[in-house]
Amino acid sequence: MWSHRRRLGDWWRGPGPREVRAAWLDVRRTPAPYLGGVLTLLALLVLLRYTWWSAVLGPFLLAVGTLVVFRLGAWLVVPEGWGFRTRAGGLVAGAAVVGLGAVAGWLVLAVILAALVGVLGMTQEERYRARVRAVLARRVSSGAGIVPEELRVENARWDGRRLVAAEIRCEANPDTYRRDRLAALLAEALRDTGVSYEVSWSMERPVFVMRAVSALPTGVHDRHWSGPCRAVPLGVTNEDAAGQTDEGCADGPTEPRLPACAWNPERNLLVVGTAAKTGFKRGLCARAMRLGFFPGGMYVLDGASSSDYVVLAGRHGIRAVARTPRDWATALRHLASIVESRHWDNVEYRGGRCSTEPDHPSLCVVIEEPRRIRALLGGRFDRFCSRFARHCRETNVRLILVTRRADSEEMIPNAVRDLLDDVVVMGPVPRAGAESVLGRDWRSATDVYGAVWPPGRGVARLEGRIGHFQAFLLDRPRDLPAAEYLYPPPKGSPRLVIPPTEHGQSRPTPAK
C-alpha cells in the first residue's frame, strides 16, 4: 500500500499532470464556477429525456464538462459590471450548455464538448500566462495592502511560459516609500518560477518596469575545475551565489554570465526531494572527493539499497558503499570507532596530557533514507546518531543527509536534525515538506500553478541565503566512458593528469 501511495505521489508531483494540478488549484481558489458546473450538468440529466445511450454519455459528460466547460468558461470575456469575472464566466458557460443541450440533445453537446477540449489544449499557454498575472497581482496587493484591481499588467513580453518583461501600472500614484515597497514585492512575487526579476520605476510613464534577469539553463554538464576551489560547486545560479562564487574557475562552455552555487564543506548538508536527486547526489560525492575536500575519506550508507552509489565503490577516498543491513552495521562500527578515537585524542590534548595537537583529516558521512536504516538496525543506529551529534564538529566529521521527505520525524533523526546547516531541495516538493526545511521561503520549492521544473533544477539555502540553481550533470562512466576522469580515480591506478578541456569529456592520461 505504501509503495502505491509513493508512486502516486511521485506522479502527482511530476511534470506530466501539471495542468491537472493547475485545475485543482483553480477549483480550490474559486469553487463557485465549478460547483455551478456540477449542478448544471445534473440539471441536464433531469431536463433532457433519459434514454439508454444518454445513460452511457451522461457520466462522461458530467466529468469532462465539469472540468472543461467551466474551466474554460472562467476565462470568458464578460462585462466588468457583472461583478466577479470568474463566477460570471462560469454562469455564462453553464447557461450556454443548458440551452444547447435542451435544443440539440446530448449528441451535439458531446461534439461541442470535444471542441472545447481542443480549445482548452490550444489555450494552455495563454491560461498559464493569465495565472501568472493573477498570482503577481494577488501577492503584491496582499503585501502592499491594496486591492488586486489597482494593479494592471501591461505590455507583457513572453518567451513561452517565461515572462521576459512587463509594465505594472498602479491606479493610485504611489509615493516614494510605497514605490520602494511595491518594487521589492514585484521582484519577489515570481521567485518560485525560477526566474529573477529586476524592477525599476519609469519616470517618463507612471509604471513599474519588470525585466527578467539571466535565466537558468536547462542543463549544464560537469567539467574539470581548475585551481583550488574553496567550496564544492553544486551548479549555476541566477541569484547572488550563496557560499563561494567564482565565475572564472570553470573550464569549458559554462555560462560565463552565471555564477556558481557552491556548498561550504565545513557545514553539514540536508538534501531533500524526489525529482532529479539521483544525479545530483552522485555528482556531489564525486566532485567533493575529486577536489580533495575530504582527505579522511567518505562513507556512504545507502538506506534505499539503490545502485546510485555503486559507481563510487572501489575509488580513492571512498571507504565504504553500504547497501545492505550487514554493510550498514559494519560501516557504523567503523565510524563509531573513528569518532570515539578522535574525541579522546582531543580530550588528551585539551587536558594537557598530550603536547601535540590532533590534526584529524576531514571525513564525510553520506546517509540516504535514514528511516529505513533505523527501522532495520534499531538502537544501533540511534546510538550512533546520538554520539555523532555530540562529537562530529570537534572530530572534523561532516554529514550529508539525503531523504525524500523532511516533514516527518522518522525521516530525519532528532539527534542530527539541528546539525544540518544548509539545505538543498531538488525538484518541487509538497508544501508541508518545503515549510519544514525552508520555513517562510517554502514557496520557492513548491509547484505553483503549473510551473515547469527542468531536471536538475533545485533550491539551495546555503549559509542563510536562498536561491534557485541548475545542478551539474554527471554521466556514469558505464554510459559515457569519457566522463571517467570526473570521478575519483580507482584504487591502485596511477595518478591521473586532468587536462584542461573545452567540453569536459576528454580522456585523462597517466602521469609520466
pLDDT value at 299 more than 90: yes
Residue 432 dihedral angles phi and psi, to the nearest 5°: -60, -45
pLDDT at 392 (0 to 100): 86
Q: What pLDDT does residue 367 have?
A: 92
Kindly tell me if the per-residue pLDDT of 43 is higher than 70: no
Average pLDDT, the chain: 73
Domain identity same for 243 and 171: no
Q: What secondary structure letter does DSSP report for 51?
A: -
Task: Examine the pLDDT at 365 and tell me if it is beyond 90.
Answer: yes
Q: What is the mean pLDDT of residues 264-272?
A: 91
Write the CB contacts of 195 (distance below 8 Å, at least 6 apart in sequence).
Answer: 162, 163, 212, 213, 215, 216, 238
* Residue 355 pLDDT level (bands cut at 50, 70, 90): confident
Whether 505 has a pLDDT exceeding 70, the answer reads: no
Domain assignment present for 127: no
Tell me the mean pLDDT in the region 270-294. 86
Burial 6-31 (b: 16+ CB within 10 A, else e): eeeeeeebbeeebeebbbeebbeebe
Could you identify the residue written with the cell 500566462?
Answer: 129
Question: What pLDDT, in 10s, does the model give residues 377-406?
Answer: 888 888 888 888 888 888 899 999 998 877
Which residues are paired to 400 by β-bridges? 269, 366
User: Is residue 131 a part of any domain in this protein?
Assistant: no
Q: Which of 186, 212, 238 is the last residue of a domain?
A: 212
Number of domains into which the chain is organized: 3
Q: Strands 422-426 and 457-462: what pairing? A: antiparallel
% of the chain exceeding 90 in pLDDT: 11
What domain range includes position 59?
11-122
Residue 288 shares a structural domain with residue 236: yes
Same domain, 485 and 420: yes
Where would I find the H helices in 318-394? 325-350, 370-377, 379-391
Same-domain pairing of 161 and 249: no
Domain end position, chosen among 181, 212, 243: 212
Whether 63 and 194 share a structural domain: no
Shared domain check, 450 and 426: yes
Q: What are 167-212's pLDDT values in tens digits?
A: 888 766 667 667 777 888 887 777 666 677 778 777 667 788 887 7
Cell output for 399: 554529514
Residue ending a domain, choose from 193, 212, 231: 212
172 & 232 share domain: no
- pLDDT on residue 83: 41
136 located within any domain: no
Residue 471 lies in a domain: yes
Q: Is residue 26 part of a domain?
A: yes
Cα 445 to chain centroid, rounded: 5
